[in-house]
Structure 1
Amino acid sequence: MTNEKLTELASELENCGKALFRIASSMQAPQDEQPAESEKKEYAKQPLTLEDVRKVAADKARKGFTEEVRSLIQKYGADKLSGIDAAQYEAFLKELEVIGHAG
């Protein structure tokens, strides 16, 4: 390779490095652009959906707690998960999450 070609490649490599640096800098949000704590809490308080509850119930069932999950569903007056009133999802989920944990 000639010196001219090496110089050209070095210049292109330097430009590539600068571009990567600009990309990395733009991906780092300044502290004032981060969501406020109140916004985070508001987002976290979105109502639970049947799908949210179903994911946890399915995970517990896969771990061998099918009977416990079924009993809990019956405790909430339903014969299947979709029969539970949406207003009860939060309480149901709290009880569901402790299944399988030594008390």
Structure 2
Amino acid sequence: MGKMKKLSAELDELKKCGEILIGISDTLKELFSTAEEKKPIKEPNKKEALVEEIPKLERKALLLTDVRAVLADKSRNGYTSDVKALLLKYGADKLSAINPKDYEALLAEAEVIGND
């Protein structure tokens, strides 16, 4: 592969990553907005579709510190008992005893705590 062709492919990949990051930031902004009004359900846009295209293998593996940060935040916000119940659901009394393969599922369940 020629240098220019390789550079072009890398630039295309960089652009795709940028679009994914914009989509993620838009989603986070919507989730954490302070507006109390109900937002209409929208159809997935191009950016969200790109996020879905990323194979699991390309996604960054979750680390204990990533999961710990989310659980600590939930606990600080008054959901300590929910966090403990979630850990027990995964067969552990503390986060360090959780199997790293379960981090993604654990984090997905933890993120909905307090979003009633």
The TM-score normalised by the length of structure 2 is: 0.54
One of 77, 83, 86 as aligned partner of 1:72: 86
Runs (4+) of structure 1 moved beyond 6 Å? none
One of 56, 60, 64 as aligned partner of 2:70: 56
Residues in 1 aligned to 2:100 and 2:72: alpha-carbon distance in whole angstroms = 17
Counting only pairs closer than 5 Å after superposition, residues 38-53 of structure 1 correspond to structure 2 as: 41=54, 45-53=59-67
Aligned-CA RMSD value: 2.6
Alignment of 1:93 onto 2:104: no
Sequence identity of aligned pairs in percent?
Answer: 46
Residues in 2 aligned to 1:34 and 1:76: alpha-carbon distance in whole angstroms = 37
The TM-score normalised by the length of structure 1 is: 0.60
Q: Which range moves more in the overlay, 80-89 or 32-41?
A: 32-41
Matched residue count: 71
1:37 corresponding residue in structure 2: 16
Residues in 2 aligned to 1:86 and 1:34: alpha-carbon distance in whole angstroms = 29
Unaligned runs of 5+ in 2: 1-10, 21-53
Greater percentage in helix: 1
Unaligned runs of 5+ in 1: 1-31
